[in-house]
Chain A
Amino acid sequence: METLRMREALRDAMAEEMRRDESVFVMGEDVGVFEGAFKVTEGLLDEFGERRVRDTPISENTIVGTGVGAAMAGLRPIVELMTVNFSLLALDQIVNHAAAIPYMFNGQARVPMVIRMPGGGGHQLGPTHSHSFEALYLQVPGLLVACPSTPADGKALLKTAIRDDNPVVFIEHESLYGRRGEVPEDEEETLRFGEAAVRREGDAVTIIGILKMAHVAEDAARVLAHEHNVEAEVIDPRTLRPLDLDTILESVRKTNRAVIVEEGWPHGGVGANLATLITEQAFDYLDAPVQRVTGADVHMPYSKRLEQAAIPHEEHVVKAALAALEGSI
Chain B
Amino acid sequence: MADLPDAATCYELLARMTLIRRFEEEAGRQYQRAKAGGFLHLGIGEEATIVGTASVMRKEDYLIGTYRTHGHAIARGTDPKHVMAELFGRVDGTSGGRGGSMHIFDRENRFMGGYGVVGGNLPIAAGLALASEYRSEDSVTVCMLGDGASNTGNFGETMNLAALWKLPVFFLVENNLYGMGTSVERHSAQTDLSKKAEGYGIPGKRIDGMDVIAVREGVAEGIRLAREESRPTLLEAFTYRYRGHSAADPEVYREREEVEEWRAKDPIETFAKRCIDAGVLGEREAQEVREKAEQAVLGAVEFADASPEPPLDTLYENLYVTDSEGWYAVDERSPEPHRGEREDRMPEAARELAEAGAAYAGQPEEPRPNPATHGDVQEGVPPEVAAEAEGPEADDDRADDDEDRNSEVAAETTEEQEVAEEVED
Contact = CB atoms under 8 A, between A and B. Distances in A.
Contacts of B319: 102-103, 141-142
6 contacts: A65-B124, A97-B115, A105-B113, A107-B321, A242-B340, A277-B332
Contact of A64 (B95, B123, B132, B332): B123
A165 B161 contact: no
B396 interface: no
B418 interface: yes
Contact of A123 (B317, B320, B423): B423
Contact of A103 (B94, B127, B130, B318): B318
A314 interface: no
A264 interface: no
Nearest to B129: A69
Interface residues of A, number: 75
B114 to A, nearest CB: 10
B242 to A, nearest CB: 28
B416 A177 contact: no
Contacts of B415: 61, 89
A89 B413 CA distance: 10
B128 A69 contact: yes
Contact of B338 (A62, A112, A123, A245): A245
A142 B328 CA distance: 9
B241 to A, nearest CB: 24
Interface stretch (A70-78, A151-159, A293-301, A315-323): A70-78
Given A104-B95, A194-B340, A280-B335, A66 B127 contact: yes
Nearest to A64: B123
A15 B62 CA distance: 30
Nearest to B115: A97
Nearest to A242: B341
A142 B320 contact: yes
A25 B318 contact: no
A65 B421 contact: no
B113 A38 contact: no
Contacts of A231: none
A176 B125 CA distance: 36
Kindly name the residue among A58, A107, A108, A129 whose own CB sees the greatest number of chain B CB atoms within 10 A. Answer: A108
Interface stretch (B98-106, B181-189, B289-297): B98-106
Given A38-B423, A65-B126, A166-B321, A244 B157 contact: no
A174 B131 contact: no
A120 to B, nearest CB: 10
Contacts of B157: 57, 59, 61-62
Interface in B103-121: 103, 105-107, 112-113, 115-117, 120
B422 interface: yes
Nearest to B339: A246
B131 A242 contact: no
A57 B164 contact: yes
B99 A104 contact: yes
A125 interface: yes
A112 B134 CA distance: 16
B124 A97 contact: yes
Contact of B425 (A38, A75, A144, A245): A38
B160 interface: yes
B126 A242 contact: no
A182 interface: no
Nearest to A108: B107
Contacts of B161: 56-57, 59, 62, 66
B167 to A, nearest CB: 9
Contacts of A125: 421, 423
* Secondary structure class of chain B's binding surface, majority of residues: loop
Interface string B289-332: 00000000000000000000000000001111101010110101
A67 B338 CA distance: 33
Given A97-B120, A104-B103, A174 B423 contact: yes
B423 A106 contact: no
Given A105-B99, A108-B105, A68 B420 contact: no
Interface in A58-116: 58-75, 77, 82-83, 86, 89, 92-93, 96-97, 101-110, 112
B158 interface: yes
Interface of B: 62, 64, 94-99, 103, 105-107, 112-113, 115-117, 120, 122-132, 134-135, 141, 153-154, 157-158, 160-161, 164-165, 317-321, 323, 325, 327-328, 330, 332, 335, 337-342, 413, 415-423, 425
Contacts of A54: 165
A126 to B, nearest CB: 10
A244 B340 contact: yes
Contacts of A104: 95, 98-99, 103, 105
B78 to A, nearest CB: 12
A285 B416 CA distance: 49
Nearest to A273: B332
A69 B328 contact: no
Given A38-B425, A194-B340, 11 more contacts: A57-B164, A62-B161, A103-B319, A105-B98, A123-B423, A141-B319, A144-B328, A166-B321, A192-B325, A243-B341, A277-B332
A69 B164 contact: no
Contacts of B418: 58, 60, 86, 89
A60 to B, nearest CB: 6
Interface in A157-211: 164-166, 174-175, 177-178, 192-194
A69 B123 contact: yes
Kindly name the residue among B62, B107, B126 whose own CB sees the greatest number of chain A CB atoms within 10 A. Answer: B126
Contact of B95 (A96, A105, A192, A277): A105
A304 to B, nearest CB: 15
Contacts of A51: 134
Kindly name the residue among A37, A61, A97, A249 whose own CB sees the greatest number of chain B CB atoms within 10 A. Answer: A61
A97 B114 CA distance: 11
Nearest to B331: A141
